[in-house]
Structure 1
Amino acid sequence: IVVNPIPGGPSERVGIMPGDRVIDVDGKNVAGIGLKNSEVFKMLRGDKGTQVTVRILRRNSSKPLEFNIIRDKIPIHSLDASYMIDDKIGYIKLNRFALTTESEFLEALLKLKEEDMQHLILDLRGNGGGYLNASVALADHFLKEKKLIVYTEGRNSPKTDFIATTKGELQEGRLVILIDEGSASASEIVAGAVQDWDRGIIIGRRSFGKGLVQNQLPLPDGSMVRLTVARYHTPTGRVIQKPYNPNELESYYSELTQRYNNGEFFHADSISIPDSLKYFTLNTGKVVYGDGGIMPDIFIPVDTTHYSEYYGKLIRKGIINQFIHTYIDKNRSNLKRNYGSFEKFNKNFTVNQNIIDELLTFAENQGLESDSDGFNTSKDEILIQLKALIALNQFSTNYYFQIVNQNNKALQKAIDVLNSWDSYKHLVKD
């Protein structure tokens, strides 16, 4: 089933729609014969410029439809969401740092400015990083000319500085950046630069701690080896890379699990950092910390209030996603007729008891044992996920995040900080 054709991709250009069922690829049947998705994907992929013919079943069509798709590069976007939270606060979420990240960010930022945005929340949670140049270009928009953004230095690699230019589109105004343990590399460069120059407030949990510069060296057999030649340093000199002992590989790779077990995801005071790893920001002299990763100015614990093992299984086994595909396939025309816009959908659509009962029955049919206590514990979260996934299928990723963010504690704290800025002035330079 086609969930959503990628915007601007070759399938969307020929008219493939959400809910379409692929039954045939280049004359070969792929429906109802037990093929894995990966096998179908392999049949669909090929060299740029070549053609693949697919036949699909579309609800309310009397016969299969045939499409000739010219294979092309698939656009992979960095921007997950951008919207106005209220009449002053804008929100942008990035999922990676790639060649198009700066242009996507700028396009979103300028649109928000047209809507009279005064303050920005930049969400880098779960953003595993990407290109160094993309992170430098993004940070450049927040810092004034000639400010150091990041530098690299290694045992045999001379220090290289990356400096802000005059192009910054958001050098003034209130700024909050959200990070967590999934924010790494390029995300940490941006957060570290903003924090060290007291340009904005960092909210969330300690970031991953990935800050190595590596060169790829080709080997005769066609493989490659990555050689670490330098490390990233924030403007105050903090090393982004978390400590690494070659004799304790298992400990290094399980470091996030250790953080969880040590309580770091739940209690800010569970992190013990020696005085030797204290640094001072470059404008206000605020204490910040090294030892790998970026420590937030305001800590937000992992929220387990609505978590249950039952909910975990619904997610891990993909049952909620499968159910949504089935539900939308049956109700697509009604959804379009009754909720033609996201605004109407967000205001008027409710996950009612009938939908809940359908989900519970579907889950049982998928082999998940019923658990009323677990469901009741996680009910609010399940209802939000169901509505958000319908919005994702009917509209776009942007609207998915508008719904799931409504009860997000880190985002709510960011909004509170921006609206009560005077109470947090000690964390920034106005």
Structure 2
Amino acid sequence: MSEESDQDRTEEASEKRLREAREKGELPRSRELSTGVVVLAGVSSILATRDELALHARNIMMLGVRYNREDLYSADGISHVLSAAALEALRMLAPLFVVTIVAAFAAPALLGGLNFSGQALLPKFDRLNPIAGFGRIFSTNGFVELGKSMLKLVLIGGVLVWYMMKSRADMLGTGSGDVAAGVHRSLGTIGQACLFFACVLGLIGLIDAPWQKFSFAKKMRMTKQQVKDEHKESDGNPEMKGRIRSMQIQMSRRRMMQDIPKADVVVVNPSHFAVALSYEDAMRAPRVVAKGMDVIAMQIRSVAGAHRVPLVEAAPLARALYNTTEVGQEIPATLFVAVAQILAYVFRLKTALAQGDAMPEKPNPDVDPDLLGRYRMNDEN
């Protein structure tokens, strides 16, 4: 099953998958590289401050072997010596502690960056499964870890044995001579041995780091189905989005039809376009309350006729209003004059009908053809 799954994972990991893995504390890490950096930082600190280390070590040894009469007969003589030795040891090791702590935090940033995850601290009981444990042991990663362990054993052990044989005379001579010189020589020998250790471990880490990045990228790969599911989750189900969009259009159309009785006039094409306009004294300009083409235009004409809203045929103006203005917006300034002619005609028409006067002449507003956009007039309509 795992082999089939690995074969199916042909797609690169998405940003969402990598972000979720980071939140779980899953990042490419090389223990050999981190250990090598920490040891190298510590060794460098020892070699750079070995004179001060030798001085502090000498002071600690002197505190341990030298007593005066007051210390022997004093009740707190031993505690005084121990506290002085502890303070001296703290002064000696403080630079080393600071350097190694900084290196321990900085080393992971070389490969996967700094990251803190609370989920990584939670116990994972699936690791207690012996079958899964055997699977990890005999996996490709398990054989790689075994190879690294054998390589570390051979290289580090061989280099340290070679160095011990090489510096055997120096190590045997540290017990003779001045104390300060012996401590200084011991620290130098230990520092060089640790330096060889750090270099070998760092070399293994430089080999291991690309493998860890490759292994992590391979683990994070996704199947085509996972990519599709993630797109659905992030972008939403297309069918559901279409259904929501359809419901929104229906609700908007229903509100639009409810506003038609409040309109002052409906400008028509005569049949392909219909735009309902409303104008009140508080408005800066007439406002479109409804508009539509074809079937929607027929519905607007029907609702307007049922509520006795005047219909005025002005084909270029109807198309220009449909092209330039959305429902709820005020008409553009370039159409003020044309719409004013229509509203004035409607006012005169209502007055004539109320008083029994002659019908006013219907206007033919002049409209800039560029305002019609893709709804320009042709011979058919």
What TM-score comes out, normalization by structure 2 length? 0.16
Give the TM-score taking structure 1 as reference length: 0.15
Counting helix residues as a fraction of each chain, which structure ranks higher? 2
